[in-house]
Amino acid sequence: MNIGAHLSVAKGFALMGETAVSIGANTFQFFSRNPRGSKSVEIEKKDVDELIKIMNKNKFAAILAHAPYTINACSDKQNVRDFAKIMFREDLEKLEKLPCKLYVFHPGNHMKQGEEVAIQYLIDALNDVLNPEYTTMFLLETMSGKGTEIGKTFKELKKIINGVKLKEKIGVCLDTCHVYSAGYDIVNNLNKVIDEFDSIIGLNRLKAVHLNDSLTEFASHKDRHACIGKGYIGLDAMRKVIMHPKLKKLPFFLETPTDLKGYAKEIELLTKF
Ligand code: FE
Ligand code: FE
Ligand code: ZN
């Protein structure tokens, strides 16, 4: 089982590795920069070397970087789109210095331009930024469809992927709270949802899973994470997700509203029963 949680990067990378181990995890997710601002995280070689040691010793699965929420590569404003590309490029540069090859981001908000225009802007941005010299793969996160979010259906994600030239650099991160909220019933029809993902996008593109329960009901198009077993998805369905034969080799990341103790309990709840 490859499971981890979203951790704070504030005190360095080695400490995140240690923290992951201390909560029973063998991977973790971190923000590439301040989630609501744009301040970048400093990277020191000594710290990174220490993290690599911890990862090797504890047989870590792939770790995952998360882009800030403020990036909107498909905005109706040119300066916002340009800023997104600058952020993407800076993050790519930075990730080359880390043992992290996966970078998840929210596809963006179309801001009343409609999905078509927005998807084309995002495709253009990705084709501008992605470069065979970088080793990082960009992961589109499945979204709940709140406001004007794009990426709320597998078909929309597929359209984006279709437009990307460097196909080996694009994948998907499935968020359980978001897909449930978007109207994919992983509680009653998990197999059907997985088959649909496979036939539209292809399971080979699925590289990570965000493991969150949902505070709001099925198809509510809200994005409110709940702790595992405390939401509308429920513990049983969450366990079926992580144990599913077609998913179980993936890295799973908790983004639940809790603290380190809470994460440790959730990991135990999900893996030991
Ligand atoms: Fe996210
Ligand atoms: Fe998520
Ligand atoms: Zn979310």
Q: How far is the CA of 77 from the centre of ligand 2 (A)?
A: 25
SS3 255: coil
In the prediction, which pLDDT does 232 show? 98
Residue % of the chain over a pLDDT of 90: 94
- Ligand whose nearest atom lies closest to the CA of 105: 1
Question: pLDDT at residue 27 above 70?
Answer: yes
Q: Which parts of the chain fold into alpha helices (H)?
A: 13-22, 45-57, 78-95, 115-129, 154-163, 176-182, 190-200, 235-243, 260-271
**pLDDT tens digits, 248-265:** 999 999 999 999 999 999
**pLDDT tens digits, 2-23:** 999 999 988 899 999 999 999 9
- The count of structural domains within the chain is 1
Residue 42: pLDDT band (50, 70, 90) is: confident
Q: How far is the CA of 146 from the centre of ligand 1 (A)?
A: 13
**pLDDT tens digits, 76-134:** 999 999 999 999 999 999 999 999 999 999 999 999 899 999 999 999 999 999 999 99
Question: pLDDT at residue 35 above 80?
Answer: no
Assign residue 150 the CATH number of its domain.
Answer: 3.20.20.150
Parent domain of 165: 2-271
